[in-house]
């Protein structure tokens, strides 16, 4: 597997560890990146965060052209961005939508993800530990996809 896995993080995730730690925990985004890189091992990894919807869409386009898998925590854009959902539809490899909290145990406004209908899998509620879990799952999905004869 020579193509990278992209890990994209949406708005306010740069504040992990300081933003509502009673909800999101004390793990920082830098800690999450270390966990992802450890889980990826020799697999190349692009780890990015933006508060900008436009930037996230551009990175999804880049991943569509260059990546083998995509792990995406769209944060608040989960519930509002049809543009991001449409960009995700273009990605032909496995995509995992990730949420640190269990969005279904939160307020009603967090219950409907626009992304879930277009991604391969969803991980929610495992805290920051969901990231390395998702990287492992992506590596397996990518290996299975690469093993299918053309």
Distances (CA, A) of 10 to 15, 43, 55, 141: 11, 22, 10, 23
Identify the pLDDT of residue 111. Answer: 63
**d(C-alpha 93, C-alpha 106), whole Å:** 30
CA–CA dist 119, 33 (Å, integer): 22
To which H or E segment does residue 25 belong? none
Give, rounded to a whole angstrom, the gap between the first and last alpha carbons of the chain: 16
Query: Contact at 8 Å (CB) between 2 and 43?
Result: no
Catalytic site positions: 24, 99
pLDDT of residue 109: 64
Backbone Cα Rg of the chain: 14
Please report, in tens digits, the pLDDT of each residue of the chain (150 residues total).
Answer: 489 999 999 999 999 999 888 878 899 999 999 999 999 999 999 999 999 999 999 999 999 999 999 999 999 999 889 999 999 999 999 999 999 988 877 667 666 688 999 999 999 999 999 999 999 999 999 999 888 886
């Amino acid at each position: 597997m020579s193509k990278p896995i992209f890990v994209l993080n949406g708005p306010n995730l740069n504040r992990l560890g300081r933003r509502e730690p009673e909800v999101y925990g004390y793990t920082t985004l830098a800690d999450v990146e270390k966990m992802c890189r450890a889980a990826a091992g020799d697999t190349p990894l692009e780890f990015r965060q933006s508060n900008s919807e436009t930037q996230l869409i551009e990175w999804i386009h880049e991943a569509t052209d260059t990546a083998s898998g995509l792990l995406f925590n769209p944060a608040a854009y989960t519930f509002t961005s049809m543009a991001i959902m449409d960009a995700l539809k273009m990605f032909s490899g496995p995509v995992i939508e990730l949420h640190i909290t269990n969005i279904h145990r939160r307020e009603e406004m967090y219950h409907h993800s626009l992304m879930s209908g277009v991604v391969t899998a969803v991980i929610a509620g495992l805290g920051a530990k969901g990231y390395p879990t998702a990287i492992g799952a992506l590596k397996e999905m990518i290996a299975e996809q690469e093993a299918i004869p053309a």
